[in-house]
Structure formats: C-alpha cells, structure tokens
Amino acid sequence: MYINFWYPMATSEELVADKPLKVRAVGQDFVVFRDTEGQAACLSNTCTHRGGSLSAGKIKGDCVECPYHGWQFDAAGQCQRIPSLGPDGKVPGRTRIDAYPVEEKYGMVFAFLGDLSESERPPVLTVQEWEQEGWRSTLQHYAIVGNYERSVENGLDPAHNEFVHDTHGFQGENEEYKIGDMRIEEAPSWGPWGNGFWHVFNAPPLPEGQMQSGRTQSGDLEVGTGHHGPNSLWTYIHAGPTTWFHQYLFERPVDEGNIHLYLLCMRNAFLEEKNDAYMIERNQYVANQDKVVIEELRPVLTPPTTTKEFMVPADKVILMYRDKLKEWDAKGWRIDTDEVDRNAKRVAYAIPSPARREHKGWVLDSIPLIAGDAAAAKLKAAS
C-alpha cells in the first residue's frame, strides 16, 4: 500500500452533516466530516492529547471534538480548543494533527493520503463523461476480502472473462477460444500514472434472469481497460457503435487484506432513470463473480517476483502494472506494513500530510515507509 495517492473515503451521500465518519484506509484510521459550509475534511483519527478516537466524537461548528476531553480540531488539523486550560488557555502548536487534501467529485469524497505539494500530486482519475449530455451515472459501493493489487490485476486481465463471467465468456465451452490482439496503450497516452489496452472479444448471449434486457445473440465487444495509480481502473465496454458503458473503479485498501470498492458506471444508452437499479444489479452480478475468485487467491498478496507465478502473454498489462508499482516503490512511497504490524500495540502512526513539510515537531510518528533503495534491494534479493 502506498502513500501519495487519492483514495475514495466515502460516497458523498454517506458523509452526512453533523456526524464524523470513521474510515480505515491503508491500514490506518481517519475521521472524515463536513464543516458548517458542507466542505468535507479528513484528519488522522488519533487525538494528539492521549489517543482518543476523534470519529467517536461530535461536530462542533467547523471542528471535530474528541470524545475523551473535548479538544477540538478544525479541517486544517489545528487544535482550536483545549477545555481543561480554561477560556483563556493558549493552544500549543504542536497539538496539530495531520489533515489531508480532500476532493469531492463524482459523488465521492477522495482524500490524498500523503505529503506531496499540490503541484506534485497525481490527479484523481478523470471521468470525462461526468455531467456530459447524453450520459448517465450509477455509483455502487461494495467490499472484498482480499488485496487491492490483486483486484486491480483482475481488472487488467483479459483472459478471465471467458471463465469467470457468463456475461462475457463461454465458461470454457468454446473450443476456438483464444485471446485476440491486445492493443497496448502505454503511458503517456494515459498520463504517467497508468497503462491500458484495448481488445475485441466475442461474448455470448446474456444469461436469463439478472440480465433480462441484454444481448440475445453472441456478439463482439470492444473493451478498453487500464489502471491509473495503484488503486483505480477504467473499463470502457463498447457493446455497439453507440452503446457504451464507461466504468471507473476506485479502490480503497482498508488494509492489505480488505478492500472497499466504488464503482462508477457511466452509460450513454438506457438513459431513463428507471434503468439505474437494473444497471447496478447487473454490475454487481459481474462484480460478485470477480469477488469470489479474488477472495480465494493465494498468496493473498502478489508474490514479490514473477518467478513464483507463470505468466503468459495475456498477462502483459498486469506485468506493466507491477512495473509501475516498482516506480512508486523506488520513490519510497510503499508503506512498511511489517514494521507497522510489529509496533501495532505500541505506536499510533499517521500518514504524513503536506503540512509536515512546513512544520516540525509532530506528536504522532510518521508511518514507516520502505526506502526506495531498500525496495530495490529487497526485490533483487527475492529474485
């Protein structure tokens, strides 16, 4: 898991006024809340006084109030009030807590969990069709017990469709089956943060029941898919020249073995509102088929080298994804989860926020990261 990327923390709907929300991401706890203007904010959840859980507290004006002794923190992480000091008490600067940049878009609240300055940050994956004429969206949120890198790799895998999805493949019954040409879209066409590919495959008639109003005959689907950063995916399904489904999957690793997924599906067909529930049901039907497979993958984490798996040409973009991860390893952005686990009972860590570059003297330790050169050495030793 990495610092310095945007993570979906909640849907806009889930984040109601006057109620702090506890959200776990990359193995740490955060409090997400709205100020009096409705602006979303995200702070490290651990109170700098004596470790209270801020998300168990209350919203007071533009602040979240710790349930233990009532200290109040604003959206910038500044402590505004320490009740035990009395009305004239001066709040020491070192009480500040990490606050993370937040963007609320596409019906979701994203937090940037890292310390990069605004100009250095990778962007949230852009949803080009958002609020465009002729497009309509649905958003759904579900959980998987598994590792998010495994889940992203599932999205980049053209060969699983034939076996995992009866909506997309023939369940291994097609003797002629093979993976056709994959047209790779290397960075920079998708920006420096990802890679993708397009391919065409023959899909069967849609199954009865859950897929009532779909393809009644087999047909070619043109599908493009790729990743953006370590934790988001785009999948464009062109079922015909004018029937397009452009899906965006934003994943939040809760920890190394659990994921929360936010699937935003844009469509330019079946535009009536009454079709939304059907689209969600249909997407969930497919997502659940992936979920069953991802939850049983072993090891839970992808092996550190490709010699512990046997890759074939259809796995090409998965290898490209792993190369991208290595680039971010080399920047020193990977969290040292072994070290975090070792100290779990003794140390409350915080993901470093941008303010750590300006201010010294923070109460909470910054989370341990695997140094870029150490990541390279570890990789070398394992190969």
Enumerate residues 288-327 that contact Fe ion by CB under 5 A: 290
Q: Which residues contact 197 (CB under 8 A, 6 or more apart)?
A: 156, 158, 182, 183, 184, 185, 224, 225, 226, 316, 317
Q: Kindly state whether residue 278 participates in binding ligand FES, applying the rule CB under 6 A.
A: no
Q: Kindly state whether residue 251 participates in binding Fe ion, applying the rule CB under 5 A.
A: no
Q: How far is the CB of 96 from ligand FES (least distance, A)?
A: 13
Q: Kindly state whether residue 62 participates in binding Fe ion, applying the rule CB under 5 A.
A: no
3-state secondary structure of 163: helix
Given the complex with ligand FES, which of 66 and 370 has the nearer CB atom? 66
Instruction: Give CA–CA dist 128/307, Å, rounded.
Output: 38
Contact indicator for 226, 196 with CB cutoff of 8 Å = yes
Instruction: Give CA–CA dist 92/103, Å, rounded.
Output: 29
Binding part of the chain for Fe ion, among 24-32, 169-177, 189-197, 284-292 by CB under 5 A, reads 284-292
Token digits of residue 230 = 């370590």
Beta strands in 125-231 (DSSP E): 136-144, 183-185, 196-203, 219-228
Binding part of the chain for ligand FES, among 68-76, 112-120, 141-149, 211-219 by CB under 6 A, reads 68-76
Distances (CA, A) of 374 to 189, 304, 334, 336: 31, 14, 11, 11
Q: How far is the CB of 29 from ligand FES (least distance, A)?
A: 14
* Partner in contact with 239, chosen from ligand FES, Fe ion, none, beta carbon below 5 to 8 Å by kind: none
Q: Kindly state whether residue 170 participates in binding ligand FES, applying the rule CB under 6 A.
A: no
Given the complex with ligand FES, which of 65 and 149 has the nearer CB atom? 65
Q: How far is the CB of 55 from ligand FES (least distance, A)?
A: 12
Q: Kindly state whether residue 22 participates in binding ligand FES, applying the rule CB under 6 A.
A: no
Instruction: Give CA–CA dist 363/358, Å, rounded.
Output: 15
Q: Kindly state whether residue 50 participates in binding ligand FES, applying the rule CB under 6 A.
A: yes
Binding region for ligand FES (CB under 6 A): 47, 49-52, 66, 68-71
